[in-house]
Amino acid sequence: MERLSARLLSWASLIDEKTLDQAHTTARMPFIHPHLALMPDAHLGKGATVGSVIPTLGAIIPAAVGVDIGCGMIAVRTAFTRGDLDGRDLAELREQIERAIPLSAGRYNRKIVATAEPRIAELEQLAEKNGIDPAAYAGNWRLQLGTLGSGNHFIEVSVDELDRVWLFLHSGSRGVGNRIAGHHITVAQRLAKQWWIELPDPDLAYLVEGTPEFTRYIRELRWAQRFALLNREEMMDRVIRQVSEFLGVPVDEQERINCHHNFTESEKHYGKQVWVSRKGAIQADAGRPGLIPGSMGTASYVVEGLGDPQSLNSSPHGAGREYSRSAARRTFSHEQLRAAMSGIEFRDTDAFIDEIPQAYKPIDQVMTDAASLVRVRHTLRQLVNVKGD
């Protein structure tokens, strides 16, 4: 860990100047307490750095939570081993998963399936209890539950160091969460202009605790965080069903971990109750299980938090980008993507060039930098990768 200023601590050994400048700018906001913690996977983001932990007194920066509220990971360890998959057509399994779960931006379910019904009912009750109308943001939000999205979201079948099969996926609150986030970022920016608040970046506009705007944001944020968690649960149940049908026997679920990495919670740190916004970071209290994926062609990790107080009990959420999507498309080729994905069943298309492993920081270095934040329990290697365009 390196102390870059009184209000900025960094665990990142691989980081560029633009990202550092952005982190310094956020750390200078007057309500940061005690300091911003920059994770090993930190890279340039909207307003605030992706891979940062931002504790605030009496205020929240909506863009510092992220536009995919509640985005995160879920993993299930099964009783299957690699031998149960040997000799089988994994392309068939990939295609079954792709048929069961709508992929890509703008893709939704055609109907509400039985497993989704109780989850949607829970979200409806939560919305009614808190005076929230999700349909004001996305009229089809119910059909979004159980959908993956695109970008770095994925579904994977992997094996650990003991050749045990894990099911692993990454997604968030989809279109409804994105629109909730966008609305409140706009509200915060409007209020800054209304009250003549000068900001170093418009995306650092904030909402003040105790105001109606803050209260509404927290209510809708928490609803979106719950949506994201249930969205992952719904998709995982569908993946389990497809694996069961593929192998012809029920899936014996041994362990399940579900964790956010774009979220806000009220926590006590350094003697004060603060709002901790983890934008591309997971909660890593001592003993808490967590998930840190690499890229679509590199290892992922099942971890246990070490409760490092200087990191505000946090850790990285993944590898972190080294190349922007446009830069990756200019730099890498379809042939390089195929080489990087050798031995992994995936949909072979140039649509994923911007997700090539080389576009990300080396996950091994990220995990080395995070050695004081988490303990590695399991290392996962992909057999099957599913992504949306």
Which active-site residues does the annotation give? 317
At a CB cut-off of 8 Å and minimum separation 6, what does 116 contact? 109, 142, 145, 146, 234
In angstroms, the CA 251 to CA 245 distance is 9
269 CB burial (10 A radius; 0-12, 13-18, 19+): middle
The backbone torsions φ and ψ at residue 148, rounded to the nearest 5 degrees and listed phi first, read -90, -45
The enclosing H or E element of 232 equals: helix 212-247
201 CB burial (10 A radius; 0-12, 13-18, 19+): middle
Cβ 200 vs Cβ 25: under 8 Å: yes
Structure tokens that stand for 233 in this block:
């649960």
